[in-house]
């Protein structure tokens, strides 16, 4: 079914520019902490985008309010859960993360404040991130007797390297936006009031490009990075050849020669 913007209990969705979808975590009264309903809402949104990848050309993920992107799991809701209830809730979060990672549309995290535990893991599910200068990050699970279980042990080492990732996860120690930038986890630091504007400018730039091309680039990087180089180079050509017979490839070349802006249709 075609993807539609609709109301969710824990999220707000809107399109701030053509072909761009902004998903905002909307529980500011609890620092946008993830409860069961947020897991279900996020899963529904990203399953919907996976089923209709032509719906948008770039997705922005951010948090409501100016203090927190997402503080992680809602520990008040989790207090007193049985082991079975905890695992049932976590399965929802696992499915949410798989839907986010599977989303073929380029995704940018706009980290407007603290991104702790599951909040940081959601940032790591995005293709890249811009952060407000006051943002802070941590994977604090070890201080609670658990461990990252929403992709953190896999996505963080692939982003900052295994040794840095192990220090972050084994200590649970928070780190600054500047450190996140220095370690390659954040692509750009922004003044808090400028964050969404700068993210939107980049999202619009991505959305102006051929959508099959941007999705195939994401596909090639994500899967090729798990292969040896020779296999990855062969995979790259398979991914590349998907674009040769497209209308967008012909339009791009025509527009270049006619000295005009291309009008890509995603076909």
Is residue 1 one of the residues assigned to a domain?
Answer: no
Look up the pTM and report it. Answer: 0.92
If asked whether residues 61 and 91 sit together in one domain, one would say yes
Is residue 267 one of the residues assigned to a domain?
Answer: no
If asked whether residues 253 and 158 sit together in one domain, one would say no
If asked whether residues 128 and 214 sit together in one domain, one would say no
Domain that holds residue 213: 209-257
If asked whether residues 111 and 216 sit together in one domain, one would say no
Structure-block tokens of residue 208:
């102006």
Contacts of residue 48, Cβ cutoff 8 Å, sequence gap at least 6: 1, 3, 4, 55
Polymer length in residues for the chain: 267
CATH number at residue 229: 1.10.12.10
pLDDT at 66: 83
Q: Of 192, 207, 222, which residue sits at a domain end? A: 207
Measured CA distances, 205 to 18, 46, 198, 211, 214 (Å)? 11, 22, 11, 11, 11
If asked whether residues 75 and 155 sit together in one domain, one would say yes
If asked whether residues 241 and 140 sit together in one domain, one would say no
Q: Annotated catalytic sites, by residue?
A: 121, 141
If asked whether residues 126 and 70 sit together in one domain, one would say yes
Cα 71 versus chain centre, distance: 16
If asked whether residues 86 and 163 sit together in one domain, one would say yes
Question: In whole angstroms, what is the distance from residue 133 CA to residue 118 CA?
Answer: 20
Is residue 168 one of the residues assigned to a domain?
Answer: yes
Structure-block tokens of residue 194:
């400028």
If asked whether residues 226 and 139 sit together in one domain, one would say no
If asked whether residues 119 and 170 sit together in one domain, one would say yes
* SS3 assignment, position 178: helix
If asked whether residues 139 and 149 sit together in one domain, one would say yes
Per-residue pLDDT 10s for the chain (267 aa) are: 788 899 999 999 999 999 999 999 999 999 999 999 999 999 999 999 999 999 999 999 999 998 899 999 998 888 998 999 999 999 999 999 999 999 999 999 999 999 999 999 999 999 999 999 999 999 999 999 999 999 999 999 999 999 999 999 999 999 999 999 999 999 999 999 999 999 999 999 999 999 999 999 999 999 999 999 999 999 999 999 998 999 999 999 999 999 999 999 989
pLDDT at 75: 86
Within 10 angstroms of residue 129's Cβ, the number of other Cβ atoms is 27
Tally of domains within the chain? 2
Is residue 171 one of the residues assigned to a domain?
Answer: yes
If asked whether residues 237 and 131 sit together in one domain, one would say no
């Amino acid at each position: 079914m075609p993807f539609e913007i609709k109301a969710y209990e824990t999220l707000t969705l809107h399109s701030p520019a053509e072909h761009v979808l902004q998903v905002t975590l909307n529980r500011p009264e609890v620092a946008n902490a993830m409860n069961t309903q947020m897991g279900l809402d996020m899963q529904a949104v990203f399953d919907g985008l996976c089923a209709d990848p032509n719906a948008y050309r770039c997705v922005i993920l951010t948090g409501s309010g100016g203090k927190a992107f997402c503080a992680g799991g809602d520990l008040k809701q989790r207090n007193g859960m049985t082991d079975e209830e905890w695992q049932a809730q976590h399965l929802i979060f696992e499915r949410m993360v798989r839907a986010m990672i599977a989303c073929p549309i380029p995704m940018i995290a706009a980290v407007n404040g603290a991104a702790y535990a599951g909040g940081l893991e959601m940032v790591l599910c995005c293709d890249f991130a811009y952060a407000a200068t006051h943002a802070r990050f941590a994977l604090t699970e070890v201080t609670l007797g658990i461990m990252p279980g929403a992709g953190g042990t896999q996505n963080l080492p692939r982003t900052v390297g295994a040794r840095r990732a192990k220090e972050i996860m084994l200590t649970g120690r928070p780190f600054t936006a500047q450190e996140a930038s220095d370690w390659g986890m954040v692509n750009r630091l922004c003044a808090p009031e400028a964050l969404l504007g700068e993210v939107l400018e980049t999202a619009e730039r991505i959305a102006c490009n051929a959508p099959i091309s941007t999705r195939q680039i994401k596909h090639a990087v994500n899967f090729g990075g798990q292969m040896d180089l020779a296999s990855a180079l062969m995979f790259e050509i398979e991914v590349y050849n998907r674009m040769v017979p497209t209308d967008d490839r012909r339009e791009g070349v025509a527009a270049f020669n006619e000295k005009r802006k291309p009008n890509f249709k995603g076909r």
